[in-house]
Amino acid sequence: MFRTRSWGRYPPEELIRFMARNFFAAEDRSKVRVLELGCGAGACTWFLAREGFDTYAVDGSDRAVELTRKYLESEGLSAHVEQADFLSVDFESGFFDAVVEVASIQQTTMANVHEIVERAWELLKPGGVMFAMMVAKGTLGDGLGRMVEPNTFKDIPEGPYRGLGVTHFFEEGEVVEVFSPFAELELEKSTRTACNRTHEITHWVVSAKKQSRSAVGKQA
């Protein structure tokens, strides 16, 4: 897929806003560890590295990893970029201040989505945060192609998810359930139109926080 399609070079505004709200005031951004799940061609990894964060990124595609490394090199930036399956990301628990993903974990079945988010929770420090953008039910492509399971389709013939393999279109309740391991959850929507406003493309915008050590202490 990454050998045959071109991809954007800039991150979504929603991720920029999330990082600004949570980390732009940090005294030393190089001490803020951020992991991106699904770096793709490198747009978000480039942004995180350019803003001075200690940036890590993984993708299952060797071509995506190659593109991300080349993008960083062309800008004189560095990050830890590796090829890896999201379910086997090899870092110690509590290693990251933030885990982010943009329309990556939606490209699998719900059982895997649950496992990926649980793994992200494990990788976060107490008080750490996760950002996610996940396509919403009703977006162009929902209900098309072959159904794998409820709200999950493959071989989608049109729209932004054509040719991307398996895609899950999330209902609100599913998002809330997936992120139930987190102590705090903020859920917004981001919508744009396509095809002269004949279709809508909507993403859930998730900001979730892992319980802090102080909160654990109060409960004890």
Q: Kindly list the domain boundaries of the chain, sorted by start residue.
A: 13-133+171-197+205-210
- C-alpha to C-alpha distance for 77 and 131, rounded to whole angstroms: 23
pTM summary value: 0.93
Q: What band does 220 get if pLDDT is binned at 50, 70 and 90? A: very low
Question: Helix, strand, coil: what percent of the chain each, to 5?
Answer: 30, 30, 40
C-beta separation of 11 from 43 below 8 A: yes
Q: Is 206 left (phi over 0), alpha (psi -120 to 50) or beta?
A: beta
Q: Across residues 136-149, what is the average pLDDT? A: 96
- Residue 18 has what pLDDT? 98
Strand partners, 153: 147, 167
Is the confidence at residue 122, as pLDDT, over 90? yes
Assess whether pLDDT exceeds 80 at residue 189. Answer: yes
Domain 13-133+171-197+205-210: CATH superfamily is: Vaccinia Virus protein VP39 (3.40.50.150)
% of residues, the chain, pLDDT over 70: 93
